[in-house]
Structure 1
Amino acid sequence: MRSRHHDIADDLKRQITTGRIKPGDRLPSEVGLASQYKVSTATLRSALAVLQGEGLVEKIHGKGNFVRHRLRKIMYVGGWGTLDPWTAAEAAQHVTDRATEIEAHGHLAALMRVPNGSPLTEFLSISYQGESPHSLARIYVPRDQESSDGLGTGPSYVRTEESFAVLSPLAVEVRETISARPPTPDEASTLRINPTTAVLAITRVAADTAGRVVEAALLVFPGDRVDAVFTTHHVTGERQAQG
């Protein structure tokens, strides 16, 4: 037997797809909708969870449930650590950053190849399409490399669209590990996605000619909002002989 919350989700979806409820519109309160459909708030929230899982509705803490603007996919260019400028510009992206001074411990110290307690600067970067968060990154830089990376030194600043998660100019070797997984509670909250939505997680470590890590980045993209492209250049026999 079909659940009542699926019927409610279908009715709201129909209103959204036909334009009766438009992108950016705030839905009535959960209590109001529950009263309208003559169900409990728990049932109503289950219906909204269906729409949130399909990317049609997002819940903004303290404000309510809103119909999502359709988010365009962007392209992450592997090996360069940047967003493709064409897709980034077309999607009207903007990026906010917050810098925090921290110390490396445990997994982070191992990732940066530094002793526990080493000083780092963490940059929390969130990209937006309009008002909707699109992707996030935590970028770690050794404190003595911060100014040379061009990432800025203030506690808060904004970078342009295609420079989101850009690599340090000192990097000569880049290692990227990619996995698909459920988001952490913090990631789901920041990106305003359903906890069951898969994310594309990229761990990127960049080193200089001496093997020193100049930057480590933990990048998270909702799986339905990004394509990751990696290009491999093979060395021909002729070029090997010339080397």
Structure 2
Amino acid sequence: MTQSVPSRRHDIADDIRNQISTGRIKAGERLPSEAQLASRYAVSTPTLRSALAVLQGEGLVEKIHGKGNFVRYPCRRITYVGGGHALRTESPVEPALRVSIRTTNLQAHGQLTCLLGVSANSPLTEFLCLSHEGKSRSPHSLARIYVPRDLSPTDVPAESHCCKTVEAKLAELRPPLAEVRERVSARPPTPEEAATLRISSALAVLAITRVAADSTGRVVEAALLVLPGDRADAFFTTHHMTDERTSGE
């Protein structure tokens, strides 16, 4: 029997991976151009790109459109804490993430009408939160938060240390939350998500849909989170109520 021979793309990926792990190529450093790498390894450009795709899927390399391929800084873990009354992504590592926030007024359509339980064209406000890590401002996670227009604050900053700033502003206008429903699934990223987060389309993301309602049953917030699968954990705690039995008369 003949042994299988590793494909050329894996040979190339192994070599570049070794250079990264030994520090010969450092985090944040730009790799040579694809043409230069293809010439160095004596392979076609498609084969070279296939090798880079392996490294991109592992989270070691990111391709920035118009700039080239760069060695990624080590990914910080994200822990999504579910079951509570706040939208949180947490990490104990410093320095803190920076979050850019884009506010857009729009009308309910498609999935949003179902999530918020409103009729089509109802006025909503979207807060698009994109977290960035470190000096490279490498994208870290993506969240879209939707609220009815009458519950939308007007003083949300364009940049913050975390999405909790948006949550704090929302809490000022909305009634207390009575129910939070969360759905978690793993799926491939959409082309837009892959481009925004600079991840490979082959890397699965953790998609979290969170819907919060007040005591009347009105949905006051719907959030769609996208967390790259190479750095995300979801943590849920369930509190069980026990019956208190007292002696009767």
Q: TM-score, normalised to structure 1's length?
A: 0.90
Alpha carbons of structure 1 residues 20 and 97: separation in structure 2 relative to 1, 3 Å: same
Cα distance per residue 1:179-199 (max 9 Å; x no partner) = 111111111111111111111
Please identify, of 134-143 and 75-84, the stretch whose mean Cα deviation from structure 2 is larger: 75-84
Find the counterpart in structure 2 of residue 72 from structure 1.
Answer: 76
Q: Hey, what's the Cα distance between the residues in 1 that align with 2:144 and 2:158?
A: 15
Please identify, of 196-205 and 90-99, the stretch whose mean Cα deviation from structure 2 is larger: 90-99
Contact residue 129 and residue 163 of structure 2 kept, 8 A: no
Higher-helix-fraction structure: 1
Find the counterpart in structure 2 of residue 161 from structure 1.
Answer: 162
Q: TM-score, normalised to structure 2's length?
A: 0.88
Give the AA of the match of 2:160: R
Alpha carbons of structure 1 residues 185 and 239: separation in structure 2 relative to 1, 3 Å: farther
2:64 is aligned, of 55, 60, 64, to: 60
Alignment of 1:198-209 (within 5 A): 198-209=204-215
Alpha carbons of structure 1 residues 165 and 33: separation in structure 2 relative to 1, 3 Å: farther
Contact residue 104 and residue 117 of structure 1 kept, 8 A: yes
Please identify, of 72-81 and 164-173, the stretch whose mean Cα deviation from structure 2 is larger: 164-173
1:183 is aligned, of 186, 189, 208, to: 189
% identical aligned pairs: 62
Find the counterpart in structure 2 of residue 13 from structure 1.
Answer: 17
Q: Hey, what's the Cα distance between the residues in 1 that align with 2:97 and 2:200?
A: 22
Cα distance per residue 1:170-221 (max 9 Å; x no partner) = 3221110111111111111111111111111110001111111111000010
Q: Hey, what's the Cα distance between the residues in 2 that align with 1:232 and 1:166?
A: 22
Give the AA of the match of 1:194: S
Alpha carbons of structure 1 residues 27 and 20: separation in structure 2 relative to 1, 3 Å: same
Contact residue 74 and residue 88 of structure 1 kept, 8 A: no
Alpha-carbon deviation of 1:92?
A: 2.9
Q: Does 1:118 align with 2:119?
A: no
| 3-state SS of 1:65 partner | strand
Alpha-carbon deviation of 1:10?
A: 1.0
Contact residue 58 and residue 230 of structure 2 kept, 8 A: no
Q: Hey, what's the Cα distance between the residues in 2 that align with 1:185 and 1:164?
A: 28
Contact residue 59 and residue 230 of structure 2 kept, 8 A: no
Q: Hey, what's the Cα distance between the residues in 1 that align with 2:241 and 2:20?
A: 52
| 3-state SS of 1:237 partner | coil
Contact residue 183 and residue 199 of structure 1 kept, 8 A: yes
Q: Hey, what's the Cα distance between the residues in 2 that align with 1:157 and 1:89?
A: 23
| 3-state SS of 1:100 partner | strand
Q: Does 1:34 align with 2:38?
A: yes
Alpha-carbon deviation of 1:83?
A: 2.4
Q: Does 1:227 align with 2:233?
A: yes
Alpha-carbon deviation of 1:160?
A: 2.0
Alpha carbons of structure 1 residues 70 and 239: separation in structure 2 relative to 1, 3 Å: farther
Alpha carbons of structure 1 residues 164 and 61: separation in structure 2 relative to 1, 3 Å: farther
Alpha carbons of structure 1 residues 82 and 109: separation in structure 2 relative to 1, 3 Å: same
2:55 is aligned, of 36, 51, 55, to: 51
Q: RMSD across aligned C-alpha pairs, in angstroms? A: 2.0
Aligned length: 234
Q: Does 1:213 align with 2:219?
A: yes
- Structure 1: which 5+ runs fail to align? none
- Structure 2: which 5+ runs fail to align? none
